[in-house]
A and B are shown apart, each in its own frame.
Chain A
Amino acid sequence: MKHWNETDFNQLLYGVKDEDSHLRECAACRAELDRLRTVRQRVLAEPEVSQEFLDAQRRSIYNRLNHSMRNFAPLRWALSVGMLLVLAAGITIPRYLKSPVTLTTDEQLYSDLTAIEQTDEPKAIQPLHKLFEDQ
């Protein structure tokens, strides 16, 4: 008959292992488990927390809640509305700022094209001619 060891007991105390037939039948192991459970109760005893500290902590929580309710909610709304306005302005304003397209008549377009076609030299050479004329 193999008795439970330290690892077995630790695992049982922390819920990793279940009781088995040996533990149920062995008086020595049962007694050890009872002893361990007593120690465990001592572990579970919570330390006392000073009442002044808890009161101060609660006050601090209330202050933060009040602050977030009073200041942050309207601020968040204002920011959201502001962002929407900026976005809307960004979409609509450029439309009005665009310069209107100048429409040319068919005759004007035709005369421009024929003028280009009838010149022998490309337009880019014209400044060179000017240079020679000055000399």
Chain B
Amino acid sequence: MMGAMADRLSSRVESEASTREFGAWMASEQKRIFLLCKRMLQDIGEADSATQDTFIKAWQSLNRPGSADLENPGSWLTRIAVNTCLDRLRSRRWQFWRKRPAAQDEETILRLAPAPEPNAEDQIFAAEIGDRVQNALDKLSLRQRAVFALRHYEDRSLADIAGILDLDIGTVKVHLFRAIEKLREELHDLYFRGKQ
């Protein structure tokens, strides 16, 4: 009797500890995952629920009996987030009546991070071009969008992207090459506008 009770108590303590550990990990990854979802989905509301889905899937997967220790939890979580976003983008193709998010809502949730050298003009320029690049992601196929977002915003290596998306490096390079070609105009304004 006492043994069973002690077992229950110890499993409860373990479960609380793992919940706390998961909570701390979630807090450290939450902003990155939310921004990745936002960049891929281009919709704050959808990015919010995709982020929630990502962490819930991660929790369920980690608590499945026999789940192995993760070698790279960050990349694993990124993979779940990207796949969640890709699923949403696929189902979104039929939702042409989808409501666009209000710009004011975005502003209250997102603020441009202060630049290392405080320069108002630079900040406005970065925000403006950032929006243009963000909107131009619609030109890309789903895979190209995922590859480009991971490279452009997260600066991940091609090997890392290949691991996350379960592709070989050659395929990642091809997707990136095509994405760069399609976004040539936006990238020109981003990197070369000041030169002319």
The residues of A with any CB-CB pair to B shorter than 8 Å are: 6-7, 9-11, 13-16, 36, 39-50, 53-54, 57-58, 60-62, 64-65, 68
Please tell me the number of chain B residues within 8 Å of chain A, measured between CB atoms: 44
Spot the interface stretch: B30-38, B66-74, B79-87, B89-97.
B30-38
Q: How many Å lie between the Cα of A47 and that of B148 in the bound state?
A: 18
Of the candidates A11, A16, A49, the one whose C-beta lies within 8 Å of that of B34 is A49
Question: For the complex, is B100 an interface residue (Cβ under 8 Å from A)?
Answer: no
Q: How many Å lie between the Cα of A45 and that of B113 in the bound state?
A: 7
* B27 touching A58, Cβ below 8 Å: yes
Of the candidates A9, A14, A46, A64, the one whose C-beta lies within 8 Å of that of B52 is A64
* B173 touching A16, Cβ below 8 Å: yes
* A57 touching B48, Cβ below 8 Å: yes
Q: Which residues of A contact B76 (CB under 8 A)?
A: none
The residues of B with any CB-CB pair to A shorter than 8 Å are: 23, 26-27, 30-32, 34-35, 48, 51-52, 55-56, 59-60, 108-113, 115-116, 122, 126, 130, 148, 151-153, 155, 157-158, 173, 176-177, 179-180, 184, 187-188, 190-192
* A61 touching B26, Cβ below 8 Å: yes
Q: Which residues of A contact B192 (CB under 8 A)?
A: 6
Q: How many Å lie between the Cα of A114 and that of B122 in the bound state?
A: 111
Q: Which residues of B contact A40 (CB under 8 A)?
A: 191
Q: How many Å lie between the Cα of A11 and that of B184 in the bound state?
A: 11
**A117–chain B nearest beta-carbon distance, Å:** 72
